[in-house]
Amino acid sequence: MKKRQKIALCILCFLFASTLLASNEFIIESFKALPNDMAGSVYAKKDGNNEFCGLIKVKTGIKEDLDFSSSLKFNLFEKKKPGEYWVYVSPGEGRLTLYAEGFTPKHFHITSEKIESKRSYELLVRAKEEQKIPVSILTDQVDAEKWLDGELLGTGDNFQVVPGKYRLSIKKEGYKEYSAEVLFDKDNALIKDIELKQIQPVEVHITSSPLGTDIYIDNTLIGKTNKGTYLYPGTYSLKLSQSGYVDINEKIVVKETAKNTFNYNLEKNTGIMRLKISPPDAKVLINKTEHTGKKELEFAPGRYLLEVSKPGYYEDSKVIELKRGETAEIVLSLIQKTGNFQLSIGPLEAACRLMQGEKVIQSWTGMKRINDLPVGDYELLCTADKHQAEKRTFSIIENSSTVLDIQMQEGVLRQSSDYRIKEVFVQGGSFRMGDVWGGGFDGEKPIHNVTLSSFYIGKYEVTQALYKEIMGNNPSYFKGDNLPVVGVTWYNAVEFCNKLSEKAGLQKVYTISGTSVRADFTKSGYRLPTEAEWEYAARSGGREDRKWSGTNTEGELGNYAWYDSNSGNKTHPVGTKKANDLGIYDMSGNVYEWCWDWKGNYSSFSQTNPTGPST
């Protein structure tokens, strides 16, 4: 019994001694939930019952280490940084006890807020004796900054601080920073005779890619990269900013003896918009700014309105969300506004050509109906043997039908008011061009593949009557209105084509300046055939069983051509022998015919619509 009494007495003595040593107390300043703090969820932990805990962030200015216990089911704590502890507790209501050396334990009853899983809370705690005392810090630089534990006190000499140990720093631009451990209490309230050592500014070089980036030092713009400047040794806030790039924000340390060169590569703050617009000449607006014809554009991330339009098409638009580093492939095709066209014509053998501006849209013979023809203005030209040519202009209107009924008038093909030549439509195709039969001239080799678009060609050789009417002269040796014109140079021939086009109201193909002649094959007027077109038409569409125009048999040649065996060494009226399979006369015999091409060697490669050598 006496032994037990002694043990109990020892325990009471120990508790009494601990109470005497605990000269300070905890003061709870506040406790609250942090609804916008996600730490309790992001860094969630589970208790022994596999339930997610709540997180209490205990913040204090007490320098001694804290310890915790709880009446809740579970608690775990960690010191995140000086003055801040994270305490995990089980959900519910309960009591949190705080401990520290030299402090009386503090039992905090959690009643104002119920602890919930994955939520964050804040508990502010201070020491009862955290009563500030007046202190003085004196240096030889009256406007120097005084800092305690990283917090600025000011530039004066006298301050109020809580007693304790601190890291004192004194800073001034142009002087080396002073740093030392100090103790402030009732007996140590004066720090004096601190002398700051003056230093010189050092070179600092700041470069970037790309150049021309704005440089901010401590939020002050000092220029653009590449930039050299002078700074005192120390730590600075650096910001680099350029439109279209992500800002760089960081701390830099300028050292007294180091090479202070700072290099940066800025990351683009843009995305790529790659456009595939149809038709390609449509008007393109992006946020009301025109970008017609551009295929790839670079913009800052954001939302953009793409608008595309063209006369004769339905407008379209699209909203584009462009992200940084993204290449957005944008495909937008406009839908054409269309109408229908219908033609009834007599005679049914009439050759018709539909044009829009300088472009031939379609060619055909006889009646025609075209559905979904794009809206716009058109010209229709119709020719037929022993009939006067007909030219009509009309418009195609959206969702409507345009109907033409033409009865061509019989009469002379060419009158003083109509200079159009009788034409034959030649359907395009592919053929082997050159001496496919063997035994020909070297200039007819090598054989090569040629593809031609459809075209029109004169049914007859140009007569002396037409040439004289157009040019005002007749250079032929043998005279006769219906004889083919001869004695014509190549330059005379292209000039004749232009004048004939002009009188027929068509666009001139040739631009002539002295002996310089340029051809625009998109024009609607008359022109010389290319060599490939002439050979294709002479061989009835490139047929290899037509060595002569209209026949493959020399014994039949006299039925199709005037040549040395039957011509009597003179020219003969056009169209008096048989036509070839396409209805074209005198493609073999009678007289030579000019083509567009300059004389040159053939290529062995396949060609499409060749126009011969350039010179």
In the chain, the amino acid numbered 135 is V
Phi, psi of 217 (to 5 degrees): -115, 120
- When the pLDDT of each residue in the chain is averaged and rounded to a whole number, the result is 88
Strand order in the sheet with 448-452: 429-433, 448-452, 607-608
User: Domain limits at 137?
Assistant: 133-194
Whether residues 583 and 440 fall in one domain: yes
Please report the DSSP string for 403-462 in residue order: EEEEEPPBS-S-BTTB-PPPEEEE--EEEEES-SSSS--GGG-S-EEEEE--EEEESSPP
> What CATH number is attached to the domain comprising 539?
3.90.1580.10
32-90 confidence digits (pLDDT tens): 999 988 888 988 888 878 889 889 999 998 888 899 887 766 668 888 888 899 999 88
CA torsion angle for 264, 267, 269, 273 (degrees, to 10)? 140
**Which tokens is 376 given?**
């716009």
Residue 19: which pLDDT band, with cuts at 50, 70 and 90? Answer: very low
**Domain C-terminal end among 212, 230, 265:** 265
Residues 239-250 have a mean pLDDT of 92
Residues 362 and 396 in one domain: yes
Model confidence band, residue 185 (pLDDT cutoffs 50, 70, 90): confident
Query: Which of 244, 265, 286 delimits the end of a domain?
Result: 265
Q: 556 lies in a domain?
A: yes
Q: Is residue 614 part of a domain?
A: no
Q: Are 355 and 391 in contact (CB under 8 A)?
A: no
Whether residue 248 is found in the same domain as residue 313: no
**pLDDT above 60 for 253:** yes
Residues 594 and 493: their CA atoms lie apart, in Å, by 8
pLDDT computed for residue 73 by the predictor? 60
Contact 591, 486 (CB under 8 A): yes
Q: Judge whether 321 and 303 are in contact, CB under 8 Å.
A: yes
- 3-state class of 9 per DSSP? helix
SS3 5: helix
Please give the pLDDT value at position 74: 60
Q: What is the CATH number of the domain that holds 387?
A: 2.60.40.10
Residues 148 and 230 in one domain: no
Range name among 33-42, 201-210, 581-590 with the lowest pLDDT average: 33-42
pLDDT band at residue 92 using 50, 70 and 90 as cut-offs: confident
Domain assignment present for residue 511? The answer is yes
Total domains, the chain: 6
Q: Is residue 419 part of a domain?
A: no
pLDDT tens figures, 357-396: 767 889 999 999 999 999 999 999 888 877 777 889 999 9
Quick check: helix, strand or coil at residue 286? strand
Q: Is the pLDDT score of 292 beyond 70?
A: yes
Residue 522 lies in a domain: yes
40 and 157 assigned to the same domain: no
In a domain, 270, yes or no: no
Distances from the Cα of 355 to the Cαs of 232, 380, 420, 468, in angstroms? 79, 6, 16, 29
Which of 68, 124, 73, 74 has its CA nearest to residue 98? 68
547 shares a domain with 513: yes
Structure confidence at residue 129 (pLDDT)? 65
Final residue of a structural domain among 413, 448, 477: 413
Per-residue pLDDT at 77: 85
Give a yes or no: residue 593 inside a domain. yes
Cα distance between residue 437 and residue 547, in whole Å? 8
Whether 510 shows a pLDDT value over 60: the answer reads yes
- Both 258 and 308 in one domain: the answer is no
% of the chain beyond a pLDDT of 90? 59
3-state secondary structure of 495: helix
**Whole-model pTM above 0.85?**
no
Same domain flag for 554 and 588: yes
Tokens representing 282 are 């449509």
According to the model, what pLDDT value does residue 194 have? 93
Q: How far is CA 17 from CA 10, 23, 101, 128, 201, in A?
A: 10, 11, 13, 20, 59
Which H or E element spans position 220?
strand 220-224
Q: Does position 4 have pLDDT exceeding 50, yes or no? A: no
Task: Give the separation between CA 352 and CA 363, rounded to whole angstroms.
Answer: 6
CA 506, distance to chain mean position in Å, is 42
pLDDT cut 70: percent of the chain above it: 93
Domain identity same for 470 and 575 = yes
Task: In whole angstroms, give the CA distance from residue 232 to residue 201.
Answer: 4
Query: Which of 8-12, 339-343, 537-541 has the least mean pLDDT?
Result: 8-12
Residue 10 binned pLDDT confidence (cut-offs 50, 70, 90): very low
Q: Domain check: are 343 and 215 in the same one?
A: no
Q: Name which of 112-116, 118-122, 324-328, 550-554 the model is least confident about.
A: 112-116
Is residue 130's pLDDT more than 80? no
Q: What is the CATH number of the domain that holds 324?
A: 2.60.40.1120
Closest by CA position to 185, among listed 159, 203, 208, 164: 164
* Angle formed at CA 534 by CA 425 and CA 552, multiple of 5 degrees: 95
Question: Could you tell me if 263 and 252 are in contact, meaning their C-beta atoms sit under 8 angstroms apart?
Answer: no
Half-sphere exposure of 77 (CA within 13 A, CB side): 20
Q: How confident is the model at residue 95 (pLDDT cuts 50, 70, 90)?
A: confident
Q: Is residue 9 situated within a structural domain?
A: no
pLDDT value for 212: 93
Order of strands across the sheet with 376-383?
359-365, 351-356, 376-383, 390-396
Nearest to 475 by CA among 488, 484, 466, 465: 488
Q: What is the pLDDT of residues 463-502, one digit of tens each?
A: 999 999 999 999 999 999 999 999 999 999 999 999 998 8
Tell me, yes or no, whether 138 and 206 share the same domain. Answer: no
What pLDDT is stored for residue 285 in this prediction? 96
Residue 8 clears pLDDT 80, i.e. is over it: no
Are 107 and 229 in the same domain?
A: no
pLDDT above 50 for 439 = yes
